[in-house]
Structure 1
């Protein structure tokens, strides 16, 4: 099956510190690849999987659900845990939601999580109609490429398959109940101007997690896909500093500079 340009998964064998990077709903690894590359270039072991049903055509996504997407990142986490002494997880949008569920279920096996515009709820009146509407129409308009930076596009579907959207909504409802189980150090970066996930989602996540080590950063110059937007360098630098602060200098090259 042909992949869209940039949608291929990415793995880099680095040092003893591993990072799992998770992309978003209807998106692909392309949207977070610069984030993964930045960390890989600094000697970390990095895994960026392609979620099932993504990166090809929306019809393939229509027959998948949240259990499939979560199972993929869960498998990659186990692979990193076998390879590395410490593992961190990063995610954009739905990737942030998947990250939070991994954190809720894996406890101390995850040393910290970094989120960019994480999703907490499927918004709008149409969301309540999804159980019925998904049987009447297969798709709605896409959500890809909410980016302020001119000339930059996200590799994602131009349609949202409604069966998958319904599954995503059910996943977020379940995750919301599990958020108090998240205890790891948390770096949450979000855009005040986001046309896909409103800032209220980040506020609710911060209010419900049990993490005591919490850092919040605003991405003032970016929209939803901030990892491809003006604030991308800030995201990458903040993430590496966050990991460095929680890692011994012997394990992470340059970590001492962030101590």
Structure 2
């Protein structure tokens, strides 16, 4: 029987964390993840595939989720693609109420999980059963269909950053993390310049963008979420050489500090959202991300 908290989460939620979340004090972001997963009775599965120190990561999150009252905690220690197709691991995802992906290296995470039965079962868990999926740092970047794979940029630069395929819980966006702390605006601008059909999402440390599918978003934690929208911009990036700085005109930037909450109009309500932000919400909360 589903609990009241499960009913709250029936649309499915994503808790996308910019890394460095509080593990010692009030643990507000992870507490919200546990709440959206169903509270004390939730079955929490922790996937450490992104990390080369899986046991250490599991020890940290096992402790924290236990302190937050989650009584059922399961470690999925995926070390190879065979593990990600293992029937026991798939069963663990099929029985999960909350699925959490730790930090590490998003390329490692996708190399081990992308396109496997575990990947497919996570999509079913989110879209059919309405579970809560959380990810921090690399686990956050991996959530989008287009994943920031590697690269850095001290200024917007053509060819400085490359994308790879992500897990695809969100589409038409690219997610960067540790955003303000590692001064990654130039990196995200480099991505958007070359891929203007995407919207960039930069998430600060100890900050989370919470997406309720079909409903709305909220920002939790101590920092902010930065949205970079280049869909209306003019750029000369196709005309310049690699490693040159492109001209970027009419790039839109939205800053959503912690505490920001926006929801789509429900049941015929009039929208009070600014049009550019409404477009962002419609995109990231879309239940059919490929539409």
Fold match, TM over 0.5?
no
Mark the structure with the bigger radius of gyration. Answer: 2
The alignment's TM-score, normalised by the length of structure 1, stands at 0.38
Higher strand share: 2
Higher helix share: 1
Name the structure, 1 or 2, with higher relative contact order (CA <8 Å, separation 6+): 1
